[in-house]
Structure 1
Amino acid sequence: MEKAEKITILKDLIAIPTVNGQEEKIADYIQKLFTKYNISSEKVLFSENRANLVAEIGNGNGKVLGLSGHMDVVDPGNLEEWNYPPFDPTIEDDKLYGRGSTDMKSGLAAMVIAMIELIEEKSTLNGTLKLLASVGEEIGELGAEQLTKKGYIDNLDALIVGEPTNLALVYTHKGSIDYTITSHGKAAHSSMPELGINAINNMVVCINAINSKMTEISKLYSDPETGQVTHNITIINGGVQVNSIPDKTVIQGNIRTIPAYGNERVRKDIQTIVDQLNQQKNFKLKLTFDYDKLPVKSNKNSFLVQIIQKVHHEKYSEDLPLEGIAATTDVAEYIKADKPFDFIILGPGEGTLAHQFNEYVEIQNFLDVIDMYKKIAQEYLNS
């Protein structure tokens, strides 16, 4: 495939505004592209206008290597902050600007093109190379959850996730928990507070208790690659009028967990605080967990990592760094599959540009990763 066509494919993907939806348009685009090269693919419908895409090449024998990329992007935010329209991909100084250029349509495009070029070059693959293009990664790994439950992950021996890593090998990342707590009180006139129950005051007690517990945990537990457990209250709503005692307050918080102190322990800690406060007079708190993604950690000396290092070392005579990140990925759902597998997160672009204004990917980086994916697939499946 010519360089210009590769860039056009990436630009076409960026131009489709898949802000937490409309991913079926990208699934259709890739499926149509694959059809030209006789690559079989299957759409897995999630909801209206949303569909995952699964495709395979290879001889069906031997190992199965997965390539994972998500099709959705986050909202571009204030358009005045962009130098170029976020869904009108623009090239300047060998950088391609647009929402999703880094996170992670360049990674997805690189995987798609790598598969096509392996077919074009009539490469022998003694195994299966499997693309998993997912919906809703940015709002809860929705597509990854669906594909896992439907068994599309169960035959994987290894997986590469194309999130932007600036050519580092990410083998571990934090988990993520979102929770909501509602404090119910009793309304009264502010001149007679004794007749009411102040839902805000009770929530403040709860917030202080949770913050204290999370601070204690962060001091006691850490991971050399991903750091400490972190906790933040990110949304708070309460009260309707300045001279009325509030009868309801709602908070939402986010916790980033680590392998050394996982989700189950954190959920138990929060639940215990809420249960203990509800035993006190006038406290009526309700806790729900809205989002629960596991921390993940793979073997940094796995056969997959060895193959990737070999491929990179042959060209550059150096190894890629092994790192951990705080953000979560589709792996948090995929690891719930019936069969354990090795994984690595490796893709074009810099993670620090994700979700930012004027997001971009360096074109040469994008092109280099295409070649890297091809060589990794050949080495891994044929070794």
Structure 2
Amino acid sequence: MEQQERVQILKDIINIDSTNGNEEAVASYLSDLFARHGIDSKKVQFAEKRANLVSEIGESGKRVLGFSGHMDVVDAGDLSKWSFPPFEATEKDGKLYGRGSTDMKSGLAAMVIAMIELKDEKKALPGKVKLLATVGEEVGELGAEQLTSNGYADDLDALVIGEPSGPQICFAHKGSMNYTVTSIGKNAHSSMPQLGVNAIDNLMLFYNEVEKFVASVNETSKLLGDFTHNATVVTGGNQVNSIPEFAKLQGNIRTIPEVDNAEIQSVFKKIVDRLNEQADVKLNLVWDYNKLPVFSDKDSSIAKLAQQGYKNKMGESIPLVASPGTTDAAEFIKAKKEFPVIIFGPGNAQLAHQVDECVDVKNYLDMIDIYKEMVINYFNQ
């Protein structure tokens, strides 16, 4: 495939506004692209306008190598702050700008093109490469959860997730939890607060107790670092001279094995239950998102092949690291058998979700070749 065609394919999928909830347009584009090269695909419908895509190349053999990338992107935000329209891919000074360019349509496109070129070049693959393109990664890893529960990951022997990893390979990452706490109070005039119940005050009781718990945590992970908690969204009240009858707090937690998801759920429940024993306190806790930490084998064959492929292409070594962020791997590792996972893709995660998100074009093109070499060497071991 010519370089310009490789770039145009990435531009085409960046131009599709697949802000969470509209991923099927990307799945349809990729399915049509695969079909033009004699590769079958299957859509796995998640909801209206939302479909995962599963595609395979190679022959039935001893092993299956998984490629995975998500098709959704986060909202572009204030369009006036962008130098270029976020859904009109713009190439300038060796970079390609657009929402999703780095997170993670460049990784997805690189994997797709690697599969197509291996097929067109008639490379003998004594096994299968399976692409699992997902919906809803940004808001709950919804597609990965669906594909895993439906058995699409059960035959994998290794998995590469093409999230932007910078010049490094990730083999482990923290868990992630999102929660919502609501507080129900009673309206009253602010001049007579004794007649009401201040929902914000009661919500702050919860927040203060959580912060006490966070401050008491001394455990850390040598690999992943510290457990973290952040209150990220707070709403409440509707008029400055009225006692608020409703307030809501949402927070995000990054977990480590030393302070794991189950422990956090237990501690938070105890805090809410204890506070609700007080008169006029009515708190409700809901867990919106609960993803486990991911640990893989640092010395797995797929990790070594990624390192070797990068060195062969770029002439320099690349480190193996752990990441604070979460990925679809948190769902795929729930498959019936255990397999090694790496996160390895073009782009820089620090540019993800940013205004003027971009990817280095050379980095994207290089990753296509690296993926191809990894596949060939994986099956020739």
Q: Could you say whether these structures have the same fold, taking a TM-score greater than 0.5 normalized by the shorter chain as the test?
A: yes
Partner Cα distance (1:336, 1:60) in 2: 23
Aligned length: 381
1:252 matched to 2:260? The reply is: no
1:288 to 283, 286, 289: 286
Partner Cα distance (1:7, 1:318) in 2: 25
Please show how residues 1-383 of structure 1 align to structure 2 within 5 Å: 1-217=1-217, 220-383=218-381
Give 1:239 deviation, angstroms: 1.9
User: For 1:17-61, what per-residue CA distance to the aligned partner results, in whole angstroms no more than 9, with x for missing partners?
Assistant: 101122111111111111111111100011111110000111111
Give 1:5 deviation, angstroms: 0.6
Partner Cα distance (2:305, 2:268) in 1: 42
Q: Which of 124-133 and 194-203 deviates more? A: 194-203
Give the letter for the 2:368 counterpart.
I
SS of equivalent residue, structure 1 residue 259: coil
Give 1:222 deviation, angstroms: 1.8
Give the letter for the 1:297 counterpart.
F
TM-score (norm 1): 0.96
Q: 1:44–1:53: 8 Å Cα contact kept in structure 2? A: yes
SS of equivalent residue, structure 2 residue 211: helix
Give the letter for the 1:278 counterpart.
N
Give the letter for the 1:17 counterpart.
D
Partner Cα distance (2:16, 2:28) in 1: 11
Give the letter for the 1:238 counterpart.
G
User: For 1:299-344, what per-residue CA distance to the aligned partner results, in whole angstroms no more than 9, with x for missing partners?
Assistant: 1111211222232334445431111222211111111111111000
Q: 1:127–1:382: 8 Å Cα contact kept in structure 2? A: no
SS of equivalent residue, structure 1 residue 123: coil
Question: Unmatched 5+ residue regions in structure 2?
Answer: none
Partner Cα distance (2:188, 2:21) in 1: 43
SS of equivalent residue, structure 1 residue 237: strand
Q: Which of 227-236 and 96-105 deviates more? A: 227-236
Give the letter for the 2:357 counterpart.
E
TM-score (norm 2): 0.97
SS of equivalent residue, structure 1 residue 310: helix
Q: 1:64–1:381: 8 Å Cα contact kept in structure 2? A: no
User: RMSD across aligned C-alpha pairs, in angstroms?
Assistant: 1.3
Give 1:347 deviation, angstroms: 0.3
Question: Unmatched 5+ residue regions in structure 1?
Answer: none
Aligned-pair identity (%): 53
